[in-house]
């Protein structure tokens, strides 16, 4: 019972106090039921990862409602869920992987499929091209330089908080060519419903040319265990250096020859002029 209910019930008298205690117990039971349904939803949608079974309940039964194959009959009935797992061949991968609490949570979710939950989603903004909320393409960049920053927003669009369980991680064959230059998505951070954090990312290719591919991921405690963003870019060859008058091209070699010819012409004219000294 919360301290709010304790204070309220202590101020009541007679039948009002008895009613207050009853309402407080119902409130606690309702909160516990919602927590069971929330854990059941996570397990229903993410069974394969959480149990190592390779299959998830949602794969066969689909979303709830309506749910397929009569799953609605197991609403708030843990024993019915357990019987189905032990009897139906398609559920064989789940046998021995679920505890009594798991059956209770799954039954609670089937009975309350509308339970509020987290809802992680990514979005992007900035100079990089994006073809989807899950990808940033920074284009062609010469090694040794970098693009302007682009921002990845991690949003919790659900009504229930979610927790980030690890710091952002760059991974993939070319992870070293992308840099997180700023951000406020931190390990242990709680994103309330409607909350968000973000990362600023640049493309800074190292030596060599060619396509660069990587990803940035943030782990969390909800379905899937993480949210990720694909990163792409191309390391381009530097442009050729233009030849000037002082360069090694034909124009650069011709300039000194022209100067020598001009000097020789001036000397001939000065020797042939009237009054010039002769040997």
Question: What domains sit in the chain, N to C, each tagged with a CATH number?
Answer: 3-111 (no CATH), 120-235 (2.60.40.10)
Task: Give 12-52 as a DSSP string.
Answer: --HHHHHHHHHHHHHHHHHHHHHHHHHHHHHHHHSHHHHHS
Query: Does the predicted TM-score (pTM) go above 0.75?
Result: no
Cα-to-chain-centroid distance, residue 30: 34
CB 138 within 8 A of CB 147: yes
Reading the chain (279 residues) residue by residue, the pLDDT tens digits are 444 445 555 655 665 655 554 444 444 344 456 789 999 999 999 999 999 999 999 999 998 888 899 999 999 999 999 999 999 999 999 999 999 999 999 999 999 999 999 999 999 998 888 778 899 999 999 999 999 999 999 999 999 999 999 999 999 999 999 999 999 999 999 999 999 999 999 999 999 999 999 999 999 999 999 999 999 999 999 888 766 555 455 445 555 554 455 455 555 555 555 444 343
């Amino acid at each position: 019972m919360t301290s709010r209910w304790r204070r309220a019930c202590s101020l009541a008298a007679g039948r009002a106090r008895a009613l207050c205690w009853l309402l407080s117990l119902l409130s606690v039971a309702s909160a516990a039921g919602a927590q069971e349904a929330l854990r059941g939803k996570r397990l229903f949608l993410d069974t394969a990862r959480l149990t190592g079974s390779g299959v998830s309940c949602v794969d066969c039964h689909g979303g709830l409602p309506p749910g397929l194959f009569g799953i609605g009959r197991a609403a708030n009935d843990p024993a019915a869920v357990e019987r189905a797992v032990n009897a139906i061949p398609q559920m064989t991968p789940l046998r021995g992987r679920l505890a009594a609490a798991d059956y209770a949570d799954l039954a609670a979710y089937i009975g309350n499929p509308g339970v509020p939950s987290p809802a992680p989603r990514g979005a992007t903004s900035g100079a990089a091209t994006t073809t989807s909320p899950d990808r940033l393409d920074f284009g062609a960049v010469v090694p040794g330089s970098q693009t302007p920053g682009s921002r990845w927003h991690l949003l919790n669009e659900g009504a229930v908080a979610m927790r980030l369980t690890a710091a952002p991680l760059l991974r993939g064959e070319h992870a070293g060519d992308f840099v997180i230059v700023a951000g406020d998505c931190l390990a242990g951070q709680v994103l309330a419903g409607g909350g968000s954090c973000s990362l600023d990312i640049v493309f800074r290719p190292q030596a060599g040319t060619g396509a660069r591919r990587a990803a940035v991921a943030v782990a969390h405690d909800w379905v899937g265990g993480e949210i990720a963003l694909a990163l792409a870019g191309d390391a381009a060859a530097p442009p050729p250096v233009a030849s000037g008058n002082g360069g090694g091209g034909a124009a650069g070699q011709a300039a000194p020859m022209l100067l020598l010819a001009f000097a020789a012409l001036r000397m001939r004219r000065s020797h042939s002029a009237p009054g010039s000294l002769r040997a």
